[in-house]
Amino acid sequence: MTTRSETRTALDHLLTEIEHRNPAQPEFHQAAHEVLETLAPVIAARPEYAEPGLIERLVEPERQVIFRVPWQDDQGRVHVNRGFRVEFNSALGPYKGGLRFHPSVNLGVIKFLGFEQIFKNALTGLGIGGGKGGSDFDPHGRSDAEVMRFCQSFMTELYRHIGEHTDVPAGDIGVGGREIGYLFGQYRRITNRWEAGVLTGKGQGWGGSLIRPEATGYGNVLFAAAMLRERGEDLEGQTAVVSGSGNVAIYTIEKLAALGANAVTCSDSSGYVVDEKGIDLDLLKQIKEVERGRVDAYAERRGASARFVPGGRVWDVPADIALPSATQNELDENDAATLIRNGVKAVSEGANMPATPEAVHLLQKAGVAFGPGKAANAGGVAVSALEMAQNHARTSWSAARVEEELTHIMNDIHTTCHETAERYDAPGDYVTGANIAGFERVADAMLAQGVI
């Protein structure tokens, strides 16, 4: 039987090979390290996982598609962006994962997101594989007509790689209801099919699910609440800091308020807002969802209780709970140290990999409950899968039913991660629990299906 030490050495060699085979992809390297460094106990206990090159296959995408996206702006100038779709693993079901439109998008970012998606989707128990896509296109400041032309050009290539039984994209940063609508319209135009299940995050009048916009933020708060319950506490009366001001952050703030907590911050790339009275959700939604403005406008219109801090670190604001909900690596070791000094009890990741490895280690060492994104923010993809189920049956569920299903799924994910961590002698370590639980589900399916 292979020892943990021997398994650890083999995994270290594989990580070195991953870096060599995938140069200049630091985000993907980071995601692979974060998962693989927790797998030694399960591989030592179940050596069949090591024998058929299973992990080597797991870290190599099944398919990577890169394509040109030409489009014209309102002045008739031609722009060329790059499109991506990485279909990482389909052992559990069709590839499922969002599309991100942001200048920072490159192959390494998409691969990191797709790799995370494998385990996140496995944790939901809903039979969906892992994938991700997007473009370095920046929708900010573009007219609706420009965004439409870009989305139509993007889908003109993407359509041949997706389908309700193959790959089902959704939204992510820069891709909301407007973009999904344009993408779906072009897919329908090209294919001559009303294939509602090909995209999720659709409008509620044409195949979308209630609670889908809220799901990631709601789910993250539900996971944070479950971590606190495990420690004999709840969210009632707790102060929370939330980063970001997009879809995830807005509905994180909304669910916190519903459960009795007070979110006092939001942020964007220009800086952050602190509101001593708690974030006014209606005002934030008006500025960000309707006007597509910046958070400094919130402070200007809110009054004396709010102040805008240009630049700076939202994590400097004292709080009981922290919910990073913006982007990857936004919370570093120094931020973690500040949160710990200020008495933070729990950190739950609404974004994908927003805490650096050093920050995670410091928080765990200090005894802070830490919910990794692949578990804590799985609510979005869970409701996307529920949207697929509704599309397949050509029906629509009530908001109450969807939210009940979401609550059940998030509590199940928490229980699975908690019990798995205990089973592998890492009590309270949700990172280890999430990684191993997700890995076991995917690995068992891969073994059953042969070397493909």
CA-to-CA distance for 196 and 204, rounded, in angstroms? 12
Q: Is residue 435 part of a domain?
A: no
pLDDT at position 100, please?
98
Summarised one tens digit per residue, pLDDT across range 230-254 is 999 999 999 999 999 999 999 999 9
- What residues make up the domain containing 27? 4-59
Task: Judge contact between 264 and 229, C-beta under 8 A.
Answer: no
In terms of Cα–Cα distance, which of 16, 391, 375 is closest to 199?
Answer: 391
348 in the same domain as 278: yes
| Phi/psi at 381 (5° precision) | -70, -30
142 in the same domain as 228: no
Question: CB within 8 A of 237, min separation 6: which ones?
Answer: 260, 261, 262
15 in the same domain as 130: no
Say whether 247 counts as a known binding-site residue.
yes
Summarised one tens digit per residue, pLDDT across range 78-126 is 999 999 999 999 999 999 999 999 999 999 999 999 999 999 999 999 9
Say whether 285 counts as a known binding-site residue.
no
Say whether 174 counts as a known binding-site residue.
no
354 in the same domain as 294: yes
Locate all alpha helices (DSSP H) within 268-378, ordered by sequence: 281-285, 295-302, 333-341, 357-365, 373-376
364 in the same domain as 231: yes
Q: How many domains does the chain have?
A: 3
68 in the same domain as 25: no
For residue 229, give the 3-state DSSP assignment: helix
Summarised one tens digit per residue, pLDDT across range 15-52 is 999 999 999 999 999 999 999 999 999 999 999 999 89
Q: Residue 296 — very low, low, confident or very high, per pLDDT cuts 50/70/90?
A: very high
Say whether 216 counts as a known binding-site residue.
yes
Summarised one tens digit per residue, pLDDT across range 270-285 is 999 999 999 999 999 9
The residue out of 160, 194, 228 marking a domain boundary is 194
User: Would you please indicate which residues are annotated as catalytic (active-site) residues?
Assistant: 132
pLDDT at position 303, please?
92
Summarised one tens digit per residue, pLDDT across range 184-212 is 999 999 999 999 999 999 999 999 999 99
Q: Is residue 433 part of a domain?
A: no
The strand pairing partners of 27, in sequence order, are none
68 in the same domain as 52: no
90 in the same domain as 16: no
Residue 1 clears pLDDT 80, i.e. is over it: no
91 in the same domain as 53: no
Mean pLDDT score of the chain, rounded to an integer? 97
223 in the same domain as 270: yes
365 in the same domain as 223: yes
State the DSSP string of 313-334.
-GGGS--SEEE--S-TT-B-HH
Say whether 120 counts as a known binding-site residue.
yes
74 in the same domain as 39: no
Say whether 209 counts as a known binding-site residue.
no
